Amino acid sequence: MLLFTLSLFGLFSFQVSAQSSNLKLDSLKANFAPGERYFLLGKRDPFIPLVSPVKKDSKRVSRKRSPLKKKRSNRFVAPTKMPLIPIKVFEKVKVEHPKMADQLNDFASIFNDELALRKLSKKEYKKKVSSYRSLLSEVLGMREDMFKLTELQTGFDKMKFVGTLRKEGITVALVQTEGQMGHTVKVGTLIGPNLGIVKTVDEKKIVILERYRNYLGEILSRPRNIEFEKNPLHG
């Protein structure tokens, strides 16, 4: 009996408490904004999420790309209009003007070192090219003093191969230059403006080999031919 009485009393107290809380909440709803009601009751607002959303940083950090620095162009450009020295002239220079030959070799070494040339300023590079070009032109102009030039040191377009003859068992070519001047040419003769050497002679053509030294110190070879020209008056 006693237990039953206590149970009824507890149930009655719970209902009174619940009714009291509801009345209190109704009173708060009538007088306070939604966000303040549960704060006054000491309860968590059920409309506020348990986990607060991650706030995104509204400020965007603008990463400005630093302007690209213009790289200094170090592209190597080979010099132009550098005279070719006939190998015969260069060989004479080595014997008669050794200091000048050393200068030619020194310049060739410089222009073979591309990495060193890239380190030069544009002004320095132009000065090197100009100095070397002047030296090459000077050496080229010395061939007239070094060699006794003849009418055969003319352009190939001004020569005519008009025939051959046998002399002491050797085939000799007959070459005509301007002014109807006739010359005999055999293997070993210096011919042409660049002091080419006759390599072979036969009834059809004269084969000449021209050899040069370029500004890099390289030896270049170029074969040249003078074809036989049949005289139209003699068929």
Same domain, 92 and 142: yes
Domain CATH for 207: 2.30.30.830
- From 121, 146, 171, give the residue that closes a domain: 146
Same domain, 217 and 164: yes
Which domain, by its residues, includes 100? Answer: 85-146
Same domain, 209 and 230: yes
Same domain, 114 and 182: no
User: Which of 151, 134, 148 shows the shortest CA–CA distance to 185?
Assistant: 151
What is the tens place of the pLDDT at every residue in 79-118? 999 999 999 999 999 999 999 999 999 999 999 999 999 9
Proportion of the chain above pLDDT 90, given as a percent: 55
Please indicate, yes or no, if residue 90 is contained in any of the structural domains.
yes
Same domain, 140 and 161: no
Beta-carbon contacts of residue 94 (< 8 Å; ≥ 6 apart): 101
pLDDT at residue 1, rounded to an integer:
53
pLDDT at residue 75, rounded to an integer:
59
- The count of domains in the chain is 2
Please indicate, yes or no, if residue 195 is contained in any of the structural domains.
yes
Calpha distance 145→155 (Å, rounded): 19
What is the tens place of the pLDDT at every residue in 108-164? 999 999 999 999 999 999 999 999 999 999 999 998 888 888 899 999 999 999 999
Please indicate, yes or no, if residue 168 is contained in any of the structural domains.
yes
